[in-house]
Structure 1
Amino acid sequence: MEEVDKILIHTLKQVGTEVSEEVNSVKEFTSELIVEAVVRCIRVIDPGLGSALPTSLPPGMSARFRVGMSLAQACQDIGYKGEIGYQTFLYSNEPEIRSLLMFLVERLPRESAETSDQPTGKSVVLQRAIAAAIKAQLSVPWLPPNCRLPLHGETQSPGGLHSFHVQPLSLPHCTKGPTKKELIDYQRDILPPVTAQPSNHASVVASILEQHTAELSAAQEWDSEWNSQGLVSRLTPQEYRSRKLTRLRKRAEEQLRSASLPSAESAFGGPRSTSDLSELLQAFRGSAPANQVLTKGSHFTHTQKFTFTQVGTTPGINHCVHSLQFSTVSSNVSVCLCVCQEAAAVTSPIPTGRQSEGDVQLRQEEELASLQQQFQQLCTDVDQLTADMKHMGVTNTQVLDELKQRELGNTEEEERMQVKKKTIDLLPDADNNLVKFQAQVEASAKRVLHLASQWEKHRAPLIEEHRTLKEICSNQDLESSRKLSEIKSLHDKIRVSTEEAKKKEEIYKQLVTELENLPQDASRSAYTQRILEIVSNIKKQKEEITKILSDTKELQKEINNLTGKLDRTFAVTDELVFKDAKKDESVRKSYKYLAALHENCNHLIQTIEDTGTILREIRDLEEQIETEHGNKTVANLERILDDYKAIRQENSALAAKVREG
């Protein structure tokens, strides 16, 4: 039983049961440990059934009885046929618990059995502990703050909650392509660790989760795109990526080129509006002035010029020359406006010393106001001309369209006139012309038939060639689709093999770590020798049992033979003595003694059989007494009495609360 208990304890540890190193047999299991082991096994066997079962006993006795009944029912639901009840868990005995745990271990799925054979390294134990803690927290139902007990304070306290704030992280393993020495030095010497990169420590977990999710989604998108489009393109992954990058660059260049073109309003001379691209470029330049932004204009914008020239800034003469030249290529219209004005009748007199500076400034302001008024008038005239040009352009377009339509109509009319003219010319000699026309029609029909026969000669091999090529194309398509499906299946197999290789590599590392951590004095030969000794002991026990059974059968056979021989001897002796007893009195006394001897022998044999039966019953009772001692009957009775008292106290407390309420 010692070896069986060790195997059970090892398996229970693998399914998540916290068994201390001091526990070496099932006899040392407590009620709490039994409940935890059974619940862990049930959760592995049937997660839906075991998720509702607690892994520990509650403090109240009535709740403990309910947990014991629910565990017994769950064990019966998964197929346990032995006697089980709440007493199995609360007042346990060694044989029942051993048989129950053996049943549960045998019912564990193969995956769990395979994982139990794997080494238990530190990383594996830590991951399993984290997974078990997360599962335990997820299994606890959420409760409102007003309904929470102190037991839920650790798992549902709002103190550990933080907002999901993500910050970008720089990870060395995310670098793609060949890594330069400077980048390696930066990552090794300057780059801070991941936990120090976010400004707030609470954002570390959220940032790591976001980074990991982004990498996984990018990898999954690339796999799906490569399986759906990349394999069909029949390119290598590098060529497919380069072609995709080239397409994106061309599309971006087209968008930028279309955004850099001037708008229609500025092309017709209206108020100039900066394009989105110009605004974006100016925003990138920062505080650069608008006149320094280089924009690409059309031919019309290059021919449109608007200049202001101020000639002479002497105090005596101030005059402005304004010229506006407006030209278009489509209508070849040019408008030149020139306004020249001189202050004080073309030339203002030179101010004398008697004139004050205030008069000169006042005169200059008047000139500036008049010039601004003239400039506004010019702008109004330009806008009016622009509107007139737009209207004239639209009218010109309409006229050109109407002209084209009329030219097409004239061409059709001319063709009709030519046909009618030729028909009229043929009317004077109609009979001869009809004969000639019929001859031409017959010749044309013969030529058409000849051409049709020649076409049939060429058509048959072409059709045959077309069918052959079509069949070849269909075969090639089928072959390519078959090869494509094979490539996809090979790709899936490669991915599965890669994952298996990674898992096996991790298992290999764990095995190497476990091998290094194992004590060097324990060798494989010692374990093998121990197993062989156990097997030999079992064989010896089987041989001894077989020998005892054979001896028992031989003794029983000998007893049966002697009993039969005794019965036959007594029958013969009884018959002989009975015959002589009729004649001789002494023989009659011998017959009586013979009958008394036979009866006493029967009593003796019966007494011996009864003695053996009593001895067997004594041995059975002794075994039952030992079993009862092993079942801890006295201790269980004491515990039952204590639990009974606790239940009575709980009932009295509840009754007191009811009376107070």
Structure 2
Amino acid sequence: MEEVDKILIHSLRLSGTDIPEEVQSIREFTTELIIESVVRCLRVISPSVGAGLSHILPPGMSARFRIGMSLAQACQDLGYQGEVGYQTFLYSSEPEIRRLLLFLVEKLPRDASEDADQPVGKSATLHKAIAAAVKEQLAIPWVPPSCRTPRLQLLQGSCLLKRFQAQPLVLHRESDPFLGKVPQERKEFFVKFLPPVSAQLPQPTSLVPSLFELNMAELSAAQDWENEWKSQGLGSRMTPEEYRQWKHQRLQRRLLDQLRQGASRSGPAHSGTTSRDLIQLLGTFGMGREHAGALAKGSRFTHSQHLAYKQEEEPPMQVQVLPISRSSEQELREHQAAELEALETELGHLVGQITEIEGQMSTLGLTLTQVEGEVRQHQLGVIERQQTLRVKGQTVELLPDAENNMAKLQVVVESSAQRVIQLAAQWEKHRVPLIQEFRDLKALHDSKELESSRRLSEIRELHERIRSAADEAKRKDDVYKQLLVEMESLPKDVSRSAYTQRILEIVSNIRKQKEEITKILSDTKELQKEINGLTGKLDRTFAVTDELIFKDAKRDEAVRKAYKYLAALHENCSQLIQTIEDTGTILREIRDLEEQIESETSKKTLSNYERILGDYQAVKQENAILLSRSQET
């Protein structure tokens, strides 16, 4: 226990407890020192709980009882399973205090220094600095704006607040996720002309939000790609580059389909303009050449409308080339106004005619579609009737010479049947190896499918193992950094070799004690075996001797006396053995009682009883004083 007490005292000193140097064991702890040790440990473990407790024992007995109850409740809240109360601290016993202090020391953080209640690590250090800054700012009282100093203006003003506004950034990249390797021209642009990130933004305050936004977008895209590749990409049995190109092409096709549908729904009035815009847009995708011809052709109505607009535009061109008369300028303007009004009237009339013609064309288009359907149905009916008529005509031609024709038909049918049989036999010859080959290929395909599925599952399991290994490595790296910080925060004056030497000495002592205990147990077993053997030998010897002497005791008086002496000797020996066993039992009981006496002595029952009597007298005196004060008031 001495080594345990030394380690325990050292941990309590690191937690901030002022333990004198002459104190070397828990047995030497006083009540004041116990209260201080427990309160210091509670402050390190839970600052919110320990902040309301005083580590100085008050002089009044009622206050002592209250602080003892508070400490007992705090220890129970931390999870202490042993029996604890105010008597544990005020009238302590060595085993109970050692058990309680060991529990509290185990609850301490890893670095048991004065700053041990604070976490460790880089992120924890940052949190600590932020918490300290916030605590410092909260401690400063609020001051009106007109009374603030420059420092308070920085702390309590709004001059440092900026809007979180992100801007798009362009970064130097070696490869594109969809197009693969970046072209050389783009690389030259990145190297020669791309400005730095800080120069790409109109305002310097948007640099950090832009970087955060870009990083979050890249992380989100990488995570989405990983999930999609593991869920769908592996099942496609393509490489990642092929899968990205396939997705890119599929997106282009869907865009083209949407554009075509939009162009078809836009109506004939905008067909020409939409076609030209669509051709230009398709050109941006690198596919305009394939569809430019089809989209540039237009419909029949588009051409007629285009010609109509051309005819409308031709008269103004002819008007522009007419010779100018020598009349006055006013007459010329009136003439142009009248001509413009006439042209507008004619244009409105033409637009109305075009609208009417469009309605008629739509009606005629529907009628034409119905008529074409009916014509197609009539044509199919005509074809069926012609085939029926041809068969019936051939049958009528064969009727005059029916018997000969029947015989010829019979021969043709038999030859056809024979030929069908021959073809079936030939097909059977070709079918059997083909079926066998098909079955072999199918079995091979199934085996390859199973093999690919197995490898796919192995790849997924490998991905999961890689992810778990990466998480484990990251966790161990964090633990390593935390332990490194803890090691650096440990006091440098304590030698690690001294602790190691002390632990090795404790282990060697335990090993020696174990060897001695094993040796004592083996000796006890040997003695017990020897005692059992001697007892059995004695019983057998007595039985044989008793039988031999008993046979001669009937005839000889001296032998009869010897038999009596033998019985008395056996009885005395049995009583002696029983006495020895009773003596051993009494010695064991004496040792147990001595141990109980030592344990009761270590509990300081007598001194605690005396202290309880003294505290009782002190409480009576305090009650009498309070009673007298209450009567005086």
Name the TM-score class by shorter chain. 0.5 to 0.7
Partner SS, residue 83 of structure 1: coil
Among residues 249, 254, 275, which one is paired with 1:251 in the alignment?
Answer: 254
CA distance in 1, matches of 2:239, 2:333: 80
Change (3 A) 1:35 1:384: same
Q: Does 1:436 align with 2:439?
A: no
1:423 to 381, 395, 405: 395
Cα separation, partners in 2 of 1:467 and 1:622, compared to 1, 3 Å: closer
Q: Is the 8 A contact 2:121 2:485 kept in 1?
A: no
Query: Greater CA deviation, 98-107 or 413-422?
Result: 98-107
Name the SS of the counterpart of 1:168 in structure 2.
coil
The whole-number CA distance in structure 2 between the counterparts of 1:618 and 1:429 is 142
Shift of 1:397: 3.3
Distance 2:610 2:45 in 1: 19
State which of 227, 232, 245 in structure 1 corresponds to 2:230: 227
Of 15, 21, 27, the match for 2:34? 27
Question: Once the 2 structures are TM-superposed, how far is the Cα of residue 19 of structure 1 from its aligned partner?
Answer: 4.0
Would the aligned equivalents of 2:93 and 2:603 in 1 still touch at CA under 8 Å? no
Distance 1:218 1:168 in 2: 18
What residue is the counterpart of 2:206 in the other structure?
A: 197
Q: What RMSD in Å do the two structures reach over aligned CA positions?
A: 6.3
Which position in structure 2 is the counterpart of 1:475? 447
Question: 1:246: Cα distance to partner?
Answer: 3.8
Deviation at 1:309, TM superposition (A): 4.3
1:454: how far off? 3.1
Question: Structure 1 523/275 Cα, relative in aligned 2: closer, same or farther at 3 Å?
Answer: farther
Structure 2 contact 17–37 (Cα < 8 Å) conserved: no
List per-residue Cα deviations over 1:433-478 (Å, max 9, x = no partner). Answer: 2222223223322332333333333333333333222222222222
Distance 2:252 2:374 in 1: 44
Q: Residues 463, 522 of structure 1: CA spacing in aligned structure 2 closer, same or farther, 3 A cutoff?
A: same
CA distance in 2, matches of 1:94, 1:542: 26
CA 1:211–1:175 in structure 2 vs 1: closer, same or farther (change >3 Å)?
A: same
Deviation, 1:497, is: 1.9
Partner of 2:327: 351
Q: In the alignment, which residue of structure 2 is the partner of 1:150?
A: none
Q: Which amino acid aligns with 2:233?
A: G
Preserved contact between residue 38 and residue 104 of structure 2 (Cα < 8 Å): no
Aligned residue for 1:452?
A: 424
CA contact (8 A) 2:94 2:603 kept: no
Contact 1:309 1:320 survives alignment (8 Å): no
TM-score (norm 2): 0.54
CA contact (8 A) 2:68 2:86 kept: yes
Superposition pairs of residues 100-115 of structure 1, within 5 angstroms:
100-102=100-102
- Normalized per residue, the structure richer in helix is 2
| Distance verdict in 2 for CA 1:479–1:56, change over 3 Å | farther
Question: What amino acid is aligned across from residue 263 of structure 1 in structure 2?
Answer: S
Query: Residues 170-209 of structure 1 correspond to what in structure 2 (within 5 A)?
Result: 186-187=196-197, 196-197=205-206
Cα gap change, 1:348/1:441 in structure 2, threshold over 3 Å: closer, same or farther?
same
Give 1:415's aligned amino acid.
Answer: Q
Deviations 1:556-580 (A, max 9, x none): xxxxxxxxxxxxxxxxxxxxxxxxx
Alignment of structure 1 residues 277-292 onto 2, 5 Å = none
Deviation at 1:420, TM superposition (A): 0.9
- 1:479-498, aligned counterparts within 5 Å? 479-498=451-470
Query: What's the CA shift for 1:94?
Result: 6.6
Q: Which amino acid aligns with 1:445?
A: A
- Cα separation, partners in 2 of 1:34 and 1:228, compared to 1, 3 Å: same
Match of 2:269 among 248, 260, 266: 266
Question: 1-side partners of 2:129 and 2:92: how far apart?
Answer: 31
Say whether 1:83 aligns with 2:83.
yes
Answer 1 or 2: higher relative contact order, Cα 8 Å, separation at least 6: 2
Determine helix, strand or coil for the equivalent of 2:196.
helix
Give the AA of the match of 1:96: E
Identity %: 38
> 1:566 maps to which residue?
none
Instruction: Quote the Cα distance in structure 2 between the aligned partners of 1:636 and 1:520.
Output: 45
Equivalences for 1:463-612 in 2 at 5 Å?
A: 463-509=435-481, 524-533=496-505
* Residue 518 of structure 1: how far off its partner (Å): 6.8
Change (3 A) 1:433 1:447: same
1:146-183 deviation digits (Å, cap 9, x = unpaired): xxxxxxxxxxxxx99xx998643789999785996679
Given the superposition, is the C-alpha separation of residues 490 and 171 from structure 1 closer, same or farther in structure 2, using an over 3 Å criterion? farther
Aligned partners of 1:251, 1:626: CA distance in 2, in Å?
A: 91
Q: Is the 8 A contact 2:69 2:85 kept in 1?
A: no
CA distance in 1, matches of 2:298, 2:341: 35
1:125 Cα shift? Answer: 5.0
Partner of 2:374: 402
Rounded Cα–Cα distance in structure 2 between residues aligned with 1:172 and 1:19: 53
What are structure 1's unaligned runs of at least 5 residues?
41-52, 113-118, 134-158, 282-295, 313-317, 322-341, 547-614, 653-661
How many Å separate the matches in 2 of 1:181 and 1:36? 59
Could you give the per-residue CA deviations for residues 163-204 of structure 1, whole angstroms, max 9, x where no partner exists? 9986437899997859966799835x7589x994379xxxx7
Q: Which amino acid aligns with 2:34?
A: K
User: Secondary structure at 1:197's aligned position in 2?
Assistant: helix
Alignment partners' CA distance in 1, 2:508 and 2:474: 42
Name 1:585's counterpart in structure 2.
none
1:656 equivalent in structure 2: none
Cα pair distance change 1:451/1:538, threshold 3 Å = closer
The range that moved more, 65-74 or 299-308, is 65-74
Please say if residues 12 and 37 of structure 1, whose CA atoms lie closer than 8 Å, have aligned partners that are also in contact.
no
| 1:126 matched residue in structure 2 | 125
CA distance in 1, matches of 2:368, 2:465: 70
Q: Does the 8 A contact of 2:91 with 2:608 survive in 1?
A: no
Q: CA deviation at 1:632?
A: 8.6
- Is the Cα contact below 8 Å between 2:233 and 2:243 reproduced in 1? yes
